[in-house]
Structure 1
Amino acid sequence: MTLALRQTPFGEFGSLQREMNRLFDSISPFRDDDVTFKGFMPAAELTETDDAIALKVELPGLKPEDVDIQVTEDSVVISGERKSEETTEENGMTRSEFHYGSFRRVIPLSTRIDNSSATADYNDGILKLHLPKAAEERNKVVKISLS
């Protein structure tokens, strides 16, 4: 009895892609075990200067009242909900690639900030947070002695 296995030349790409996604998820600077994914996860961009951290988050289709922002000295928590639009079609079909539902994103910060001086701007679906570093972090100098 001869057993023949049929292999497709691209059959292993699916498992390779899953492994690569798992690898990148494990090293992402935005990774946190406190992330809850129920509908969609907004993309974020973090920029750090000597004086502050700038955080941009994409929140397309959300109204300001649908977003909750909490800033601590070492993290930013952004949560909200994108509600689906109710549409009725009698003789048709709707195909949607939109993601709806609630989200909660915890973004850890690399340095302590002065959360009482944080500011936010929300325009065209982009949330911009300006997070000034804490004074002791800005002027932090570490002396290293040689033995």
Structure 2
Amino acid sequence: MALVRYNPWQELNTHLSHINSLFADTRVPSARFDRDFIKVPAAELQETDDAIHLKLELPGLEAKDLDIQVTQDAVHVFGERKSQTQTENNGTTRSEFYYGKFQRVIPLSAKVQNTNVTADYKDGILNLTLPKSEQEKNKVVKVNLEQPAA
């Protein structure tokens, strides 16, 4: 029987290499995640007294590729990014772009007048101005402060 010196750090090194391999997959897009993970556009929401301003990042899409539906309490965005890459017989194309259909539902913090929405789409950025309903604008909440019994 051979005598083997015990290295207490070996088990820790094994765990660290497993953890590093997990993070390595998330740093660079991987083909195996692209099939299971649907990419959605990034959103920025700003609320003022009169309206909610929604900004969506949709690079590489034309307005005809988008379907936007606004209800009183949510914005639904549907779209499709179509591949325009042509491969030659001898060439190989490697892409990290996502092509295909996507959808995103963004819940709103206040009810809006969905009949008065204004939209602007320029340079891949969609700006929606969603005016709040009159009920939400004039909403006043009374706070009751009870005096402690002395």
One-letter code of the match for 1:81? E
- Structure with the bigger RCO (C-alpha within 8 Å, sep 6+) is 1
Alignment partners' CA distance in 1, 2:22 and 2:138: 48
Cα deviation, residue 86, structure 1: 4.2
Alignment partners' CA distance in 2, 1:49 and 1:133: 9
Query: Does the Cα contact within 8 Å between 1:70 and 1:76 map onto a contact in 2?
Result: yes
Alignment partners' CA distance in 2, 1:15 and 1:140: 49
Query: Does the Cα contact within 8 Å between 1:75 and 1:106 map onto a contact in 2?
Result: yes
Alignment partners' CA distance in 1, 2:90 and 2:41: 34
Once the two structures are superposed, what CA deviation does each residue of 1:113-139 show, in whole Å capped at 9, x if it has no partner?
111111111111111100011111011
Report the number of matched residues: 129
- Which ranges in structure 1 are unaligned for 5 or more consecutive residues? 19-36
Cα deviation, residue 12, structure 1: 2.8
In the other structure, the counterpart of 1:105 is 104
- Residue 43 of structure 2 corresponds to residue 44 of structure 1: yes
Q: For the pair shown, which has the larger CA radius of gyration, 1 or 2?
A: 2
In the other structure, the counterpart of 2:31 is none
Report % sequence identity. 55
Q: How do 1:1-147 and structure 2 match up within 5 A?
A: 6=11, 7-8=13-14, 9=16, 11-13=18-20, 39-147=38-146
SS at the partner of 1:53? Answer: strand
CA RMSD of aligned residues (A): 2.6
Alignment partners' CA distance in 1, 2:115 and 2:135: 15
Query: Does the Cα contact within 8 Å between 1:76 and 1:107 map onto a contact in 2?
Result: yes
One-letter code of the match for 1:119? T
Higher helix proportion (structure 1 or 2): 2
Residues 1:14 and 1:142: Cα distance change in structure 2 (over 3 Å)? farther
Cα deviation, residue 10, structure 1: 5.0
Q: Hey, which bits of structure 1, 4+ residues long, moved more than 3 A?
A: 1-6, 8-11, 13-18
The normalised TM-score by structure 2 is 0.74
- Which ranges in structure 2 are unaligned for 5 or more consecutive residues? 26-35
Residues 1:71 and 1:113: Cα distance change in structure 2 (over 3 Å)? same
Cα deviation, residue 15, structure 1: 5.9
